[in-house]
Structure 1
Amino acid sequence: MSKLEEKKTYLFLLMIVLSLALILAYQLLPNRTLTLAPGSVFGVYASGDAEFGGSSTAHFLNEGSSQWRCTLRKGVKAPEFPSCRIGISFSRNPDDWTQGKDFSDFDYLRIQLDYKGPATFFRAHFRNFDTELSRKEDYNSAKFVKLIIRDPGVNSDYRFALSEFKLADWWIQHYSVPNHRAKAAFDRVTSFELDFGEPVPYGEHAIELKSIQLVGKYASAENWYLSILVCWMVVMAIVGLLRLRHLNLVSKAQGLHLEQMSQYAQELKQQSLNYKTLSSYDPLTGVLNRLGLQDILDSSFQWRKESNHIALLLLDLDHFKNINDTKGHDAGDQVLKATGKMLEENTRSVDTVARWGGEEFIILCPNTGREAAMVLAEKIRIKITELDFSEYKLNKITASLGVTIINFDEPFDRAFSRVDKALYDAKNSGRNCWVYT
């Protein structure tokens, strides 16, 4: 495992541990509490049904608006059903009831109260202004989100999740609300009220509100878990970027390595060519040696095909052993060097000059017929005699040559045997001459 993979594994393990710890820690987060009544900054009110022609009344019994008394009566001009309520207004502007508070981050509602009276249940409801469904001129157009509180009594303590509140059926029907809009909302709550529903519990009702509170975490579960998910996404993105960076560095390193290997291969190839070149040339004279000539002969099929005639000349320096014996090998080396240089200077670029061994040289001349070959042999014979070795106190140097024409598809060995015989005849003819065969 690479160091990067090892670090990535440790990072993922750390993230898993932290994620589990954060999930468990959410349950231990302190709750955020907002007191709605009593003693809050919000306005608390109590009302009966007199404004609707009824005779039911409601009023506070103390200055702190925590004790409340309601009398439900049948009136002469009673409304559809008698009512009295205690409410809390959340409007920030007294002249605009539509300005509410956002309670959507809270989880549940807690109500603590003492109750005395004939009712077996209360109705708790929020009114939430919906910018698409509600109208400023119609107070009842705010969403009516309700919940039933059953069996009230002394020291009653209720806790309701906001998700338990539902839109009232009468409100949905009255305002013809489509199903996709018929959902409870708490993002712009204008008021909260406690009242009595049907059947109407006529008589005296005494309520002491100890506490009405909204409770929730400082961060919602959705946002908390979303934050964990975002952290994972950030970590994955960082790991991905580090991985890409690592791959980029590896790719560059591999590219550099391949480039170095390619360069090394080129150097080896060049060295191989250099060694081959060195092994193909005679180090003393600078012309091809027998191995180099053999390479020419091995690849001469196309060369022979394109040549009408190929002349083969075999040259041998006369009495060369005597030069080495009497004047020394240094003198002999200079004779060989001068001979090789002279042969290259007096042949064409398409011709091949090679040192066959000792004091023998071979000349291959493509597209050269019998007459031209004999002219070249005579020219070379004369040029040999013109070489100056007075420094070594040598008299005129001479050479004997054999000349022949290589027939098409004829093996070189056969042609060489023929030219070697011609050289032998030249030697026997007194040297310093050439013989064609």
Structure 2
Amino acid sequence: MLKLMAYRCVVFLPSAALPLDILDWSTLIDCSGWELRMQKTSKSSLILLYRALFLSTVLALVAILTYFALPDRKVRILPGFGHESHLFFDGEKGGLTTANWVNQPAFHFTCTATTPVTETPYCGLSINFHKFENGIDYSNFQHIELKIRYHGNNHRLRLKLHNFKPAHTNGDTQETLQGLEVSILASDANKLLVIDNRGWGNFSQGSTVDIGIDLVPPIAPGTHELQLEYVEIHGKRFKAESWYLGVALLWLLSNLFFITRHLMQQEKRIRNDSQRLSTLALYSNDLQQESQHYKLLSNTDPLTGALNRNGFATDMGQRSPAGKMESNTTLMIIDIDHFKRINDSYGHDAGDVVLRETAKIIHNNTRAADRFVRWGGEEFVLYCENTNPQQALLIAEKIRLSIESANILYNSAAIPMTVSVGIGVALASEDFDHLFKRTDQALYKAKNMGRNCIVLSDTNDK
């Protein structure tokens, strides 16, 4: 038996030696394993898609939470940025408070207040950035970190910031400056100071162009030493909304990629499966034709084209499963007279010609519902339903006369030929074997009567 592997679908082509009368076409192609593989592949593909979507969602959540773990961005604006620094004190306007640099690049200075103190004393440091447009936008930063060193007996110090908003300018820059003041205890001055930027509201949306530090009145008499060591602004490296939007876009794009890839794979799989099914359909059609051909060969006589015993048995099994004949079912056994003499006189090839011509004549004188069988050797059987004895005799006589008058030639030599016919008409519920036996006895009588004649079986024959 030859096996063809067709896309996981096993196709069996039977050999000619296989008895195809018992062949069931449904066993020729076994695609159950292939269909199961298709189902498993589709299911596994969906599982992979669900896993990818789940993983992308988990990663997106992790990325959102990672925002809070990102290290802060630190920018030290003093010292470092381009600036100008100067001291301001009321002694410049006739007051009694004076200021002097100890180390200007280090923002280290002293303020000296004498008694009596004026009504509005002031003394401090102002640091101006070179241009308003180059100021520091710290709206994206969460807090300011600075360190001030102070030695003196004043109660409080003050940190000042001035902002410039170009959108609000009217040409007079002084009118566009907005101020913010933060008062701190002098006892906290030598500690690290952290000022939360988020509470300043719209003030932080501009550009800081001025940072100052001074003594909060009333100024205690004596010498006050101050130094602004550094100013840093701290904030996240990315805006929260930008980070979340980026994570959402990446999550969406990755999911679209996974879904699109899955759909493309499914489309490719469908195309491949369609091609496989088309191929299998071609195999199926070819195999059906082969099966019909082999069934025909197994059920027919190759020389005469008539049914053989196997084909007749299959047909009878479908017509009479119980093996019982209905009344008016006629069986004829037709035997070629002196067929051995023909073989001996003209040769076996001539005998084959005689068999073919005889079968052709009998077939031409039968009805569509009749079954014509080569029983063996020179013996033929004609099975006729709904045929009474008179009709059977007319059919048999027509066949006998046609064969007797036939001009059968072999190598330009005419071969005379006759047949003897036995007829049996079934009784109600008679089984086939009994009917065949009675018909065979009628044929035996015809031969004993000199051949080339017809004998109808007596229903009393056993």
Per the shorter chain, which TM-score range?
0.5 to 0.7
- Is 1:220 the equivalent of 2:263? no
Distance 1:395 1:229, change over 3 A: closer
- Deviation per CA, 1:327-347, whole angstroms, max 9, x where unpaired? 111011001111111222222
Cα distance change of structure 1 residues 192 and 388 upon mapping to structure 2, 3 Å threshold: farther
After superposition, the C-alpha distances for 1:95-122 in whole angstroms (9 at most, x for unaligned) are xxxx996424446534344434334554
Matched residues, number = 384
Superposed counterparts of 1:17-166, under 5 Å: 33=75, 35=77, 40=82, 66=107, 102-106=137-141, 108-119=143-154, 122-124=157-159, 148=184, 151=187, 158=192, 160=194, 164-165=196-197
The one-letter code matched in structure 2 to 1:158 is L
In the alignment, does 2:460 pair up with 1:424?
no
SS of residue in 1 equivalent to 2:381: strand
Deviation readout 1:101-149 (Å, 9 max, x if unpaired): 642444653434443433455454768999xxx9x9xx9xx89796857
Please tell me the residue identity of whatever aligns with 1:35: I
2:400 aligns to what SS in structure 1? helix
**Residues 14-36 of structure 1, C-alpha deviations (whole Å, 9 max, x = no match):** xx9xx99xx9xx9899x663526
Matched, 1:317 2:330: no
- Contact 2:329–2:385 (CA<8 Å) still a contact in 1? yes
2:331/2:381 contact within 8 Å kept: yes
Do the aligned partners of 2:304 and 2:356 also contact (CA within 8 Å) in 1? yes
- Structure 2 gap ranges (5+): 1-40, 458-462
Q: 63-72 or 317-326, which moves further after superposition?
A: 63-72
The answer to whether the aligner puts 1:436 opposite 2:460 as a matched pair is no
Counterpart-to-counterpart distance in 2, 1:275 and 1:58: 124
Offset of 1:278 from its aligned partner? Answer: 0.7
Whether contact under 8 Å (1:402, 1:435) holds in the other structure is yes
Cα 1:276–1:166 change in 2 (3 A) is closer
- Whether contact under 8 Å (1:101, 1:189) holds in the other structure is yes
CA RMSD in angstroms, aligned pairs only:
5.5
**Whole-angstrom CA distance in 2 between matches of 1:210 and 1:352:** 121
- The 1:434/1:104 distance shift into structure 2, 3 A limit, reads farther
Separation of aligned partners in 1, 2:328 and 2:160: 120
- Whichever residue aligns with residue 187 of structure 2, its letter is D
1:405 aligned residue: 425
SS in 2 for 1:167: helix
Matches within 5 A, 1:326-405: 326-392=345-411, 393-405=413-425
- CA positional deviation for 1:381: 0.7
Q: Structure 1 residues 194 and 89, CA, compared in 2 at 3 Å: closer, same or farther?
A: closer
AA aligned to 2:75 is: T
The counterpart of 1:277, out of the listed 271, 277, 296, is: 296
Relative distance call for 1:198 and 1:225 in structure 2 (3 A) is same
Q: How has the CA–CA distance of structure 1 residues 349 and 185 changed in structure 2, closer, same or farther, with 3 Å as cutoff?
A: farther
Q: Distance in 1 between matches of 2:334 and 2:217?
A: 140
Q: Name the structure 1 match of 2:199.
A: 167
> SS of the residue aligned with 1:335?
helix
Distance change in 2, residues 1:56/1:301 (3 Å):
farther
Contact 2:162–2:180 under 8 Å retained in 1: yes
* SS of 2:410 mapped into structure 1: helix
TM-score, normalised to structure 1, is 0.64
Return the alpha-carbon distance in structure 2 between the equivalents of residues 422 and 320 of structure 1: 19
Structure 1 pair 410–104 and aligned structure 2 pair: CA distance change class (3 A)? farther
CA contact (8 A) 1:117 1:206 kept: yes
Structure 1 residue runs of 5 or longer lacking an equivalent are 50-54, 169-182
